[in-house]
Structure 1
Amino acid sequence: MPMHAQIVLFDGFDPLDAVAPFEVLYAGGVAAGGELTVELVTAEGPREVVSGTGGLTLRATAALDPARPGLVLVPGASGRITPPDGGQAGPPDGEQAGPDDGDQAGPDGATIPVLLARALTTGLPALLKTAMENPRITVTTVCGGSALLAMAGLLEGRYATTHHLGLDLLDATGTRAVAARVVDDGDLVTGAGVTSGIDLALHLLERELGPRIAHAVETLFAYERRGTAWRNTGPEPAAF
Protein backbone atom coordinates (compact mmCIF):
# COMPACT_ATOMS: atom_id res chain seq x y z
CA MET A 1 0.00 0.00 0.00
CA PRO A 2 1.39 3.46 -0.87
CA MET A 3 2.55 5.74 1.91
CA HIS A 4 0.16 8.64 2.50
CA ALA A 5 1.06 12.18 3.58
CA GLN A 6 -1.53 14.38 5.28
CA ILE A 7 -0.71 18.09 5.20
CA VAL A 8 -2.69 19.90 7.87
CA LEU A 9 -4.29 23.28 7.21
CA PHE A 10 -5.73 25.63 9.82
CA ASP A 11 -7.03 29.19 9.58
CA GLY A 12 -4.07 31.54 9.10
CA PHE A 13 -1.61 28.86 7.94
CA ASP A 14 1.47 29.89 5.97
CA PRO A 15 0.90 28.81 2.34
CA LEU A 16 4.57 28.19 1.52
CA ASP A 17 4.92 25.94 4.57
CA ALA A 18 2.21 23.71 3.11
CA VAL A 19 2.51 24.05 -0.68
CA ALA A 20 6.29 23.58 -0.98
CA PRO A 21 6.26 20.18 0.81
CA PHE A 22 3.07 19.23 -1.05
CA GLU A 23 4.76 19.72 -4.43
CA VAL A 24 7.97 17.93 -3.41
CA LEU A 25 6.16 14.95 -1.87
CA TYR A 26 3.71 14.74 -4.77
CA ALA A 27 6.57 14.75 -7.29
CA GLY A 28 8.31 12.07 -5.24
CA GLY A 29 5.18 9.95 -5.40
CA VAL A 30 5.07 10.29 -9.17
CA ALA A 31 8.78 9.44 -9.46
CA ALA A 32 8.21 6.38 -7.27
CA GLY A 33 5.34 5.09 -9.40
CA GLY A 34 2.58 6.08 -6.99
CA GLU A 35 4.26 4.85 -3.80
CA LEU A 36 3.43 8.12 -2.03
CA THR A 37 0.16 10.07 -2.09
CA VAL A 38 -0.48 13.53 -0.63
CA GLU A 39 -3.63 15.23 0.65
CA LEU A 40 -4.61 18.50 2.32
CA VAL A 41 -6.61 17.94 5.52
CA THR A 42 -8.05 19.89 8.47
CA ALA A 43 -9.23 18.97 11.95
CA GLU A 44 -12.80 19.66 10.84
CA GLY A 45 -12.89 17.87 7.49
CA PRO A 46 -13.23 19.11 3.90
CA ARG A 47 -13.45 22.90 3.73
CA GLU A 48 -11.96 26.07 2.31
CA VAL A 49 -9.12 27.29 4.52
CA VAL A 50 -7.96 30.91 4.44
CA SER A 51 -4.22 31.35 4.84
CA GLY A 52 -2.51 34.22 6.60
CA THR A 53 -1.06 35.57 3.35
CA GLY A 54 -3.27 37.91 1.34
CA GLY A 55 -6.40 35.84 1.80
CA LEU A 56 -5.01 32.99 -0.33
CA THR A 57 -7.36 30.05 0.15
CA LEU A 58 -6.77 26.33 -0.29
CA ARG A 59 -9.34 23.55 -0.13
CA ALA A 60 -8.74 20.63 2.20
CA THR A 61 -10.33 17.43 0.93
CA ALA A 62 -10.52 15.34 4.11
CA ALA A 63 -10.31 15.28 7.89
CA LEU A 64 -6.99 14.56 9.55
CA ASP A 65 -6.95 10.84 10.30
CA PRO A 66 -4.51 10.08 13.15
CA ALA A 67 -4.98 6.35 12.62
CA ARG A 68 -3.80 6.35 9.01
CA PRO A 69 -0.13 5.27 8.67
CA GLY A 70 2.30 7.58 6.92
CA LEU A 71 3.24 11.22 7.31
CA VAL A 72 1.45 14.13 8.99
CA LEU A 73 2.87 17.57 8.23
CA VAL A 74 1.97 20.68 10.23
CA PRO A 75 2.79 24.13 8.77
CA GLY A 76 3.22 27.34 10.71
CA ALA A 77 1.13 30.49 10.57
CA SER A 78 1.55 33.62 8.48
CA GLY A 79 0.94 37.08 9.93
CA ARG A 80 2.56 39.84 11.95
CA ILE A 81 4.97 38.85 14.67
CA THR A 82 3.87 41.88 16.72
CA PRO A 83 1.01 44.37 16.26
CA PRO A 84 1.55 47.36 13.93
CA ASP A 85 1.82 49.70 16.94
CA GLY A 86 4.81 47.72 18.21
CA GLY A 87 2.96 46.45 21.29
CA GLN A 88 3.12 42.91 22.52
CA ALA A 89 0.43 40.70 21.11
CA GLY A 90 -0.66 38.15 23.65
CA PRO A 91 -2.71 35.17 22.46
CA PRO A 92 -6.20 34.64 23.92
CA ASP A 93 -6.58 33.49 27.53
CA GLY A 94 -2.87 33.87 28.25
CA GLU A 95 -1.82 31.00 25.97
CA GLN A 96 1.92 30.82 25.35
CA ALA A 97 2.92 31.45 21.73
CA GLY A 98 5.88 31.94 19.43
CA PRO A 99 6.73 33.50 16.10
CA ASP A 100 6.83 32.14 12.60
CA ASP A 101 8.17 33.88 9.50
CA GLY A 102 6.71 36.95 7.80
CA ASP A 103 5.40 40.34 8.85
CA GLN A 104 2.09 40.73 7.02
CA ALA A 105 -1.22 40.73 8.84
CA GLY A 106 -3.01 37.40 8.98
CA PRO A 107 -6.78 36.93 8.80
CA ASP A 108 -8.58 39.90 10.43
CA GLY A 109 -5.16 41.43 11.16
CA ALA A 110 -4.20 38.74 13.65
CA THR A 111 -0.59 38.21 14.64
CA ILE A 112 1.15 34.85 14.36
CA PRO A 113 0.95 34.16 18.13
CA VAL A 114 -2.80 34.76 18.01
CA LEU A 115 -3.24 32.52 14.95
CA LEU A 116 -1.34 29.66 16.59
CA ALA A 117 -3.28 30.09 19.83
CA ARG A 118 -6.56 29.97 17.90
CA ALA A 119 -5.52 26.68 16.31
CA LEU A 120 -5.01 25.31 19.82
CA THR A 121 -8.69 25.95 20.63
CA THR A 122 -9.84 23.61 17.84
CA GLY A 123 -9.80 19.82 17.70
CA LEU A 124 -6.34 19.90 16.11
CA PRO A 125 -4.17 19.40 19.25
CA ALA A 126 -6.04 16.24 20.27
CA LEU A 127 -5.74 14.80 16.77
CA LEU A 128 -2.02 15.60 16.64
CA LYS A 129 -1.49 14.01 20.05
CA THR A 130 -3.13 10.82 18.79
CA ALA A 131 -1.02 10.93 15.63
CA MET A 132 2.17 11.34 17.66
CA GLU A 133 1.22 8.32 19.76
CA ASN A 134 0.72 6.20 16.64
CA PRO A 135 3.95 4.26 15.95
CA ARG A 136 3.05 4.03 12.26
CA ILE A 137 2.99 7.81 11.78
CA THR A 138 5.87 10.25 11.42
CA VAL A 139 4.79 13.75 12.41
CA THR A 140 6.63 16.52 10.60
CA THR A 141 6.51 20.31 10.83
CA VAL A 142 7.69 23.38 8.96
CA CYS A 143 8.58 26.67 10.67
CA GLY A 144 5.99 27.52 13.35
CA GLY A 145 4.35 24.11 13.06
CA SER A 146 6.73 22.86 15.73
CA ALA A 147 5.82 25.87 17.89
CA LEU A 148 2.17 24.82 17.62
CA LEU A 149 3.05 21.30 18.80
CA ALA A 150 5.23 22.70 21.59
CA MET A 151 2.46 25.04 22.76
CA ALA A 152 0.14 22.01 22.88
CA GLY A 153 2.61 20.25 25.20
CA LEU A 154 3.54 17.60 22.65
CA LEU A 155 7.29 18.15 22.26
CA GLU A 156 8.63 17.96 25.80
CA GLY A 157 11.99 16.19 25.74
CA ARG A 158 12.02 15.90 21.95
CA TYR A 159 14.64 17.35 19.60
CA ALA A 160 13.14 19.88 17.19
CA THR A 161 13.76 23.08 15.29
CA THR A 162 11.66 26.01 14.10
CA HIS A 163 12.17 29.49 12.67
CA HIS A 164 15.15 31.04 14.46
CA LEU A 165 12.89 33.59 16.17
CA GLY A 166 10.95 30.76 17.84
CA LEU A 167 13.80 28.66 19.24
CA ASP A 168 13.44 30.26 22.68
CA LEU A 169 9.79 29.21 22.73
CA LEU A 170 10.75 25.60 22.11
CA ASP A 171 13.24 25.77 24.98
CA ALA A 172 10.59 27.29 27.25
CA THR A 173 8.21 24.40 26.60
CA GLY A 174 10.78 21.72 27.45
CA THR A 175 11.65 20.95 23.84
CA ARG A 176 15.33 20.34 23.05
CA ALA A 177 15.68 23.09 20.46
CA VAL A 178 18.32 22.61 17.78
CA ALA A 179 19.46 25.43 15.48
CA ALA A 180 19.48 23.31 12.32
CA ARG A 181 17.59 23.49 9.06
CA VAL A 182 16.11 19.99 9.44
CA VAL A 183 16.06 17.91 12.64
CA ASP A 184 15.28 14.20 12.38
CA ASP A 185 14.20 12.77 15.73
CA GLY A 186 12.85 9.49 14.44
CA ASP A 187 9.07 9.74 14.25
CA LEU A 188 9.33 13.54 14.56
CA VAL A 189 11.00 15.51 11.75
CA THR A 190 10.99 19.31 11.92
CA GLY A 191 12.08 22.12 9.59
CA ALA A 192 13.24 25.65 10.39
CA GLY A 193 12.14 28.74 8.38
CA VAL A 194 9.50 28.52 5.65
CA THR A 195 11.78 27.59 2.73
CA SER A 196 13.15 24.70 4.78
CA GLY A 197 9.92 22.90 3.88
CA ILE A 198 11.55 21.99 0.56
CA ASP A 199 14.61 20.57 2.33
CA LEU A 200 12.47 18.73 4.85
CA ALA A 201 10.33 17.13 2.15
CA LEU A 202 13.40 16.06 0.16
CA HIS A 203 14.87 14.55 3.33
CA LEU A 204 11.63 12.63 3.84
CA LEU A 205 11.74 11.35 0.26
CA GLU A 206 15.29 10.12 0.73
CA ARG A 207 14.43 8.53 4.07
CA GLU A 208 11.21 6.85 2.97
CA LEU A 209 11.68 6.21 -0.78
CA GLY A 210 15.44 6.33 -1.27
CA PRO A 211 18.10 8.76 -2.48
CA ARG A 212 17.46 8.16 -6.18
CA ILE A 213 13.88 9.38 -5.84
CA ALA A 214 14.97 12.40 -3.81
CA HIS A 215 17.69 13.22 -6.34
CA ALA A 216 15.24 12.95 -9.24
CA VAL A 217 12.95 15.50 -7.57
CA GLU A 218 15.90 17.79 -6.79
CA THR A 219 16.83 17.67 -10.47
CA LEU A 220 13.24 18.31 -11.59
CA PHE A 221 12.93 21.36 -9.33
CA ALA A 222 16.48 22.60 -10.05
CA TYR A 223 17.11 22.73 -6.31
CA GLU A 224 19.82 21.34 -4.04
CA ARG A 225 19.15 20.74 -0.36
CA ARG A 226 20.77 23.08 2.12
CA GLY A 227 22.43 21.92 5.30
CA THR A 228 22.75 18.55 6.99
CA ALA A 229 19.73 16.91 8.59
CA TRP A 230 20.61 16.90 12.31
CA ARG A 231 20.18 13.67 14.27
CA ASN A 232 21.11 12.89 17.86
CA THR A 233 23.69 10.30 16.80
CA GLY A 234 27.47 10.14 16.55
CA PRO A 235 30.12 11.69 18.79
CA GLU A 236 29.60 15.01 20.51
CA PRO A 237 31.51 17.65 18.54
CA ALA A 238 34.40 19.39 20.30
CA ALA A 239 34.22 23.16 20.79
CA PHE A 240 35.79 25.18 17.98
Structure 2
Amino acid sequence: MVDITAEIILFDGFDELDAIGPYEVLENGAQAGASIDTNLVTLEETDLVTASHDLRVEPDGTLGNPDLLLVPGGGWTTSTGGVRLVVDEGELPAAVDECYTNGATVASVCTGAMILAEAGLLEGRPATTHPAAVDDLEETAANVVDERVVDDGDVLTAGGVTSGIDLGLWLLEREFDESIADEVAAEMIHDRRGEIFG
Protein backbone atom coordinates (compact mmCIF):
# COMPACT_ATOMS: atom_id res chain seq x y z
CA MET A 1 0.00 0.00 0.00
CA VAL A 2 1.31 3.45 -0.93
CA ASP A 3 1.47 6.32 1.54
CA ILE A 4 0.37 8.96 -0.97
CA THR A 5 -1.92 8.77 -3.98
CA ALA A 6 -1.33 11.62 -6.42
CA GLU A 7 -3.53 12.59 -9.33
CA ILE A 8 -2.75 15.12 -12.03
CA ILE A 9 -5.96 16.41 -13.59
CA LEU A 10 -5.91 16.86 -17.36
CA PHE A 11 -8.24 18.90 -19.56
CA ASP A 12 -8.17 19.91 -23.21
CA GLY A 13 -5.65 22.71 -23.66
CA PHE A 14 -3.51 21.97 -20.60
CA ASP A 15 0.18 22.79 -20.99
CA GLU A 16 2.17 19.62 -21.56
CA LEU A 17 5.14 20.38 -19.33
CA ASP A 18 2.93 21.65 -16.48
CA ALA A 19 1.59 18.11 -16.10
CA ILE A 20 4.24 15.81 -17.53
CA GLY A 21 7.16 17.48 -15.72
CA PRO A 22 5.75 16.83 -12.22
CA TYR A 23 4.47 13.42 -13.36
CA GLU A 24 7.97 12.32 -14.33
CA VAL A 25 9.42 13.72 -11.10
CA LEU A 26 6.90 11.86 -8.94
CA GLU A 27 7.26 8.63 -10.94
CA ASN A 28 11.04 8.84 -10.61
CA GLY A 29 10.52 9.49 -6.92
CA ALA A 30 8.57 6.25 -6.62
CA GLN A 31 11.43 4.39 -8.31
CA ALA A 32 13.82 6.02 -5.84
CA GLY A 33 11.85 4.75 -2.87
CA ALA A 34 9.04 7.25 -2.28
CA SER A 35 5.78 5.49 -1.45
CA ILE A 36 3.69 7.39 -3.98
CA ASP A 37 1.37 6.34 -6.81
CA THR A 38 0.78 8.96 -9.51
CA ASN A 39 -1.94 8.90 -12.17
CA LEU A 40 -3.11 11.20 -14.95
CA VAL A 41 -6.87 11.69 -14.68
CA THR A 42 -9.78 13.62 -16.15
CA LEU A 43 -13.13 14.76 -14.77
CA GLU A 44 -15.09 12.55 -17.13
CA GLU A 45 -14.11 9.33 -18.81
CA THR A 46 -12.37 9.95 -22.14
CA ASP A 47 -9.94 8.13 -24.41
CA LEU A 48 -7.63 11.06 -25.15
CA VAL A 49 -6.94 14.59 -23.96
CA THR A 50 -5.37 17.10 -26.36
CA ALA A 51 -2.87 19.45 -24.75
CA SER A 52 -2.01 23.01 -25.77
CA HIS A 53 0.74 21.96 -28.20
CA ASP A 54 -1.42 19.15 -29.65
CA LEU A 55 0.14 16.32 -27.63
CA ARG A 56 -2.53 13.67 -27.16
CA VAL A 57 -2.50 11.91 -23.80
CA GLU A 58 -4.38 8.78 -22.73
CA PRO A 59 -5.47 9.30 -19.10
CA ASP A 60 -5.33 6.52 -16.51
CA GLY A 61 -8.91 7.13 -15.39
CA THR A 62 -11.16 9.71 -13.76
CA LEU A 63 -10.63 11.89 -10.71
CA GLY A 64 -10.88 9.93 -7.50
CA ASN A 65 -10.10 10.88 -3.92
CA PRO A 66 -6.34 11.52 -4.01
CA ASP A 67 -4.09 12.61 -1.19
CA LEU A 68 -2.46 15.06 -3.61
CA LEU A 69 -4.17 16.75 -6.54
CA LEU A 70 -2.01 18.63 -9.03
CA VAL A 71 -3.62 21.11 -11.43
CA PRO A 72 -1.67 22.21 -14.52
CA GLY A 73 -2.16 25.45 -16.40
CA GLY A 74 -2.29 26.32 -20.07
CA GLY A 75 -4.56 28.48 -22.19
CA TRP A 76 -5.33 31.27 -19.72
CA THR A 77 -4.05 33.94 -22.09
CA THR A 78 -6.07 32.64 -25.04
CA SER A 79 -9.75 33.30 -25.56
CA THR A 80 -10.69 29.66 -26.03
CA GLY A 81 -9.74 26.36 -24.45
CA GLY A 82 -7.50 25.47 -21.56
CA VAL A 83 -7.72 27.08 -18.14
CA ARG A 84 -9.86 29.98 -19.38
CA LEU A 85 -12.55 27.58 -20.58
CA VAL A 86 -12.58 25.31 -17.52
CA VAL A 87 -12.76 28.34 -15.20
CA ASP A 88 -15.72 29.70 -17.20
CA GLU A 89 -17.46 26.32 -17.16
CA GLY A 90 -16.94 25.92 -13.42
CA GLU A 91 -16.93 22.12 -13.15
CA LEU A 92 -13.20 21.67 -12.63
CA PRO A 93 -12.86 24.39 -9.96
CA ALA A 94 -15.79 22.80 -8.13
CA ALA A 95 -14.13 19.38 -8.32
CA VAL A 96 -10.85 20.84 -7.04
CA ASP A 97 -12.69 22.43 -4.11
CA GLU A 98 -14.39 19.11 -3.34
CA CYS A 99 -11.05 17.28 -3.32
CA TYR A 100 -9.65 19.91 -0.98
CA THR A 101 -12.69 19.68 1.29
CA ASN A 102 -12.20 15.91 1.40
CA GLY A 103 -8.66 16.40 2.70
CA ALA A 104 -6.46 16.49 -0.39
CA THR A 105 -3.40 18.69 -0.62
CA VAL A 106 -3.87 20.74 -3.79
CA ALA A 107 -1.04 22.08 -5.94
CA SER A 108 -1.01 24.05 -9.17
CA VAL A 109 1.53 24.81 -11.86
CA CYS A 110 1.51 27.97 -13.95
CA THR A 111 -1.98 29.34 -14.66
CA GLY A 112 -3.49 26.36 -12.90
CA ALA A 113 -3.48 28.83 -10.00
CA MET A 114 -6.45 30.54 -11.66
CA ILE A 115 -8.42 27.30 -11.24
CA LEU A 116 -7.45 27.21 -7.55
CA ALA A 117 -8.47 30.86 -7.19
CA GLU A 118 -11.85 30.15 -8.81
CA ALA A 119 -12.24 27.23 -6.39
CA GLY A 120 -11.74 29.66 -3.50
CA LEU A 121 -8.56 27.97 -2.28
CA LEU A 122 -6.24 30.97 -2.56
CA GLU A 123 -8.22 33.46 -0.49
CA GLY A 124 -5.80 35.20 1.85
CA ARG A 125 -2.99 32.81 0.90
CA PRO A 126 0.39 33.50 -0.68
CA ALA A 127 0.41 32.19 -4.24
CA THR A 128 2.26 32.46 -7.52
CA THR A 129 1.49 31.85 -11.18
CA HIS A 130 2.91 32.45 -14.65
CA PRO A 131 3.94 36.10 -15.17
CA ALA A 132 1.28 36.45 -17.89
CA ALA A 133 -1.44 35.83 -15.30
CA VAL A 134 -0.05 37.77 -12.32
CA ASP A 135 -2.35 40.75 -12.87
CA ASP A 136 -5.38 38.46 -13.04
CA LEU A 137 -4.34 36.56 -9.92
CA GLU A 138 -3.84 39.86 -8.08
CA GLU A 139 -7.50 40.64 -8.81
CA THR A 140 -8.51 37.60 -6.77
CA ALA A 141 -8.21 37.24 -3.00
CA ALA A 142 -4.73 35.68 -3.28
CA ASN A 143 -1.60 37.36 -1.90
CA VAL A 144 0.59 37.16 -4.99
CA VAL A 145 4.30 36.66 -4.38
CA ASP A 146 7.13 36.58 -6.92
CA GLU A 147 8.46 33.11 -6.16
CA ARG A 148 9.05 29.94 -8.14
CA VAL A 149 7.29 27.61 -5.67
CA VAL A 150 4.98 28.66 -2.82
CA ASP A 151 4.11 26.18 -0.06
CA ASP A 152 1.20 27.17 2.16
CA GLY A 153 0.73 23.77 3.73
CA ASP A 154 -2.26 22.12 2.09
CA VAL A 155 -2.18 24.43 -0.95
CA LEU A 156 0.92 24.90 -3.11
CA THR A 157 1.44 26.92 -6.27
CA ALA A 158 4.29 27.06 -8.78
CA GLY A 159 5.08 29.71 -11.39
CA GLY A 160 5.46 29.06 -15.08
CA VAL A 161 5.94 25.73 -16.80
CA THR A 162 9.35 24.34 -15.71
CA SER A 163 8.69 25.34 -12.10
CA GLY A 164 6.45 22.28 -11.97
CA ILE A 165 9.62 20.20 -11.88
CA ASP A 166 10.79 22.14 -8.82
CA LEU A 167 7.33 21.71 -7.28
CA GLY A 168 7.49 17.95 -7.79
CA LEU A 169 10.96 17.77 -6.27
CA TRP A 170 9.87 19.85 -3.28
CA LEU A 171 6.89 17.54 -2.73
CA LEU A 172 9.23 14.54 -2.71
CA GLU A 173 11.48 16.28 -0.20
CA ARG A 174 8.61 17.49 1.97
CA GLU A 175 6.62 14.26 2.04
CA PHE A 176 9.46 11.73 1.94
CA ASP A 177 13.14 12.68 2.15
CA GLU A 178 15.54 15.25 0.76
CA SER A 179 17.81 12.44 -0.45
CA ILE A 180 15.03 11.11 -2.70
CA ALA A 181 14.47 14.56 -4.20
CA ASP A 182 18.22 14.99 -4.71
CA GLU A 183 18.48 11.59 -6.40
CA VAL A 184 15.63 12.41 -8.77
CA ALA A 185 17.05 15.86 -9.57
CA ALA A 186 20.42 14.29 -10.37
CA GLU A 187 18.81 11.63 -12.55
CA MET A 188 16.86 14.28 -14.46
CA ILE A 189 19.95 16.54 -14.63
CA HIS A 190 17.92 19.34 -13.11
CA ASP A 191 19.43 22.11 -11.00
CA ARG A 192 16.78 23.06 -8.48
CA ARG A 193 16.04 26.76 -8.68
CA GLY A 194 14.92 29.21 -6.03
CA GLU A 195 14.04 28.86 -2.39
CA ILE A 196 10.65 27.50 -1.40
CA PHE A 197 8.38 30.30 -0.17
CA GLY A 198 6.37 29.30 2.84
TM-score, length basis structure 1: 0.77
1:42-121 paired onto structure 2 within 5 Å = 42-53=42-53, 55-65=54-64, 67-68=65-66, 70-78=67-75, 98-99=76-77, 111=78, 114-120=81-87, 121=89
CA gap 1:229/1:145 in 2 versus in 1, 3 angstroms: same
2:167 aligned with 1:200, yes or no? yes
User: Once the two structures are superposed, what CA deviation does each residue of 1:7-43 show, in whole Å capped at 9, x if it has no partner?
Assistant: 010010000100010000000011116x111100011
Query: 1:72 Cα deviation (Å)?
Result: 0.5
2:142 aligned with 1:143, yes or no? no
2:186 aligned with 1:219, yes or no? yes
Between the two proteins, the alignment pairs up a number of residues equal to 196
2:124 aligned with 1:127, yes or no? no
2:126 touches 2:145 (CA, 8 Å); kept in 1? yes
User: Aligned residue for 1:38?
Assistant: 38
The amino acid of 1:118's aligned partner reads: L
Aligned residue for 2:13, secondary structure, equals: coil
User: Once the two structures are superposed, what CA deviation does each residue of 1:151-176 show, in whole Å capped at 9, x if it has no partner?
Assistant: 34432212211012212211201111
Query: 1:57 Cα deviation (Å)?
Result: 0.6
CA gap 1:6/1:112 in 2 versus in 1, 3 angstroms: farther
* CA distance, structure 1, for counterparts of residue 82 and residue 188 of structure 2: 31
2:30 touches 2:37 (CA, 8 Å); kept in 1? yes
Query: 1:209 Cα deviation (Å)?
Result: 1.0
Mind listing any 5+ residue stretches in structure 1 that lack a counterpart? 79-97, 100-110, 232-240
TM-score, length basis structure 2: 0.92
User: Aligned residue for 2:141?
Assistant: 174
1:20 touches 1:197 (CA, 8 Å); kept in 2? yes
CA gap 1:214/1:193 in 2 versus in 1, 3 angstroms: same
Query: 1:58 Cα deviation (Å)?
Result: 0.5
The amino acid of 1:64's aligned partner reads: L
The amino acid of 1:51's aligned partner reads: A
Moved more, 12-21 or 55-64: 55-64
* CA distance, structure 2, for counterparts of residue 114 and residue 22 of structure 1: 22
* CA distance, structure 2, for counterparts of residue 201 and residue 168 of structure 1: 25
The amino acid of 2:39's aligned partner reads: E
1:77 touches 1:112 (CA, 8 Å); kept in 2? no
2:19 aligned with 1:22, yes or no? no
* CA distance, structure 1, for counterparts of residue 112 and residue 31 of structure 2: 26
1:45 touches 1:61 (CA, 8 Å); kept in 2? no
Moved more, 152-161 or 177-186: 152-161
* CA distance, structure 2, for counterparts of residue 156 and residue 26 of structure 1: 31
1:49 touches 1:59 (CA, 8 Å); kept in 2? yes
* CA distance, structure 2, for counterparts of residue 5 and residue 132 of structure 1: 13
* CA distance, structure 2, for counterparts of residue 191 and residue 141 of structure 1: 6
2:93 touches 2:118 (CA, 8 Å); kept in 1? no
The amino acid of 2:98's aligned partner reads: T
Moved more, 173-182 or 150-159: 150-159
